[in-house]
Amino acid sequence: MPKDQSEKRARNGAKNGRPSREEAEDAVRVLIRWAGDDAEREGLKNTPGRVVRAYEEYFAGYAIDPADVLGRTFKETNGYDEIVVLKDIRFESHCEHHIAPIIGKVHVAYLPDKRVIGISKLARLVEVFAKRLQIQEKMTAQIASALNDALKPKGVAVIVEAAHQCMTTRGVHKAGVAMVTSHMLGAFRDDPMTRRELLAIVGVPASTALTNV
């Protein structure tokens, strides 16, 4: 995050009752000591500042309104009314239960009614919600709902495939597994043929059990 944006966010956070940067760094020092190390030794002395700067990047989505991201749409489509899909949008998020990474990809699709949106905005929308503390089911629904509200299309579909480090690096330690969730609205929920067409485009077998949230 650029320095001027970082400073602006810190000022806004102070106005909203958020802890200061110094308080956040002190909290990291407490955790280092709790883990059993010396927060003042050479290798760790600057770690609190690095962690806070990393958190600003990890959770930048809180400072962005998805409606602003999706604010500009286009109606000059020459009558195009087929599925629009952006596949394999890589994302990195953090689970709200352990603040462990969630890493995966998102497929975002919509069936236009009268308007379309720039494809970069779809990727940006994913980032807005990924850069927050999340559970995968909620993030899937948030992306779909925001796109549906902005475009009012005939249908919206979001499919998320992700690995959860809270499961692979701790707890049950089950590596190599992925969670798949979907949220489908309008034609993608009501019309089996439209749904099958989408699944074929993104390469998800129609027989795959999707958690529709």
- Please indicate whether residue 96 is annotated as part of the active site: yes
Helix (H, G, I), strand (E, B) or coil at 38: coil
Catalytic position from the list 56, 94, 136, 183: 136
Nearest to 124 by CA among 146, 102, 156: 146
Catalytic position from the list 94, 107, 164, 183: 164
Report how far residue 25's alpha carbon sits from residue 101's, in angstroms, rounded to the nearest whole number. 21
- Please indicate whether residue 197 is annotated as part of the active site: no
- Please indicate whether residue 97 is annotated as part of the active site: yes
- Please indicate whether residue 173 is annotated as part of the active site: no
- Please indicate whether residue 164 is annotated as part of the active site: yes
Catalytic position from the list 92, 137, 165, 166: 166
Report how far residue 11's alpha carbon sits from residue 21's, in angstroms, rounded to the nearest whole number. 10
Catalytic position from the list 92, 96, 137, 197: 96
Nearest to 2 by CA among 43, 62, 60: 60
- Please indicate whether residue 82 is annotated as part of the active site: no
The contacts of residue 192 (CB under 8 Å, 6+ apart) are none
Residue pair 138/91 in contact by the 8 Å Cβ criterion: no
DSSP codes of every residue in 145-201:
HHHHHHH--SEEEEEEEEEEHHHHSSTT--TT--EEEEEEEEHHHH-HHHHHHHHHH
- Please indicate whether residue 136 is annotated as part of the active site: yes
Catalytic position from the list 7, 23, 40, 97: 97
Catalytic position from the list 56, 95, 127, 183: 95
Catalytic position from the list 92, 98, 165, 197: 98
Q: Are strands 84-95 and 101-111 parallel, antiparallel or unpaired?
A: antiparallel
Q: Where are the alpha helices (DSSP H) in the chain?
A: 3-15, 21-35, 47-58, 66-69, 119-130, 136-151, 165-168, 187-190, 192-202
List the catalytic residues: 95-98, 136, 164, 166
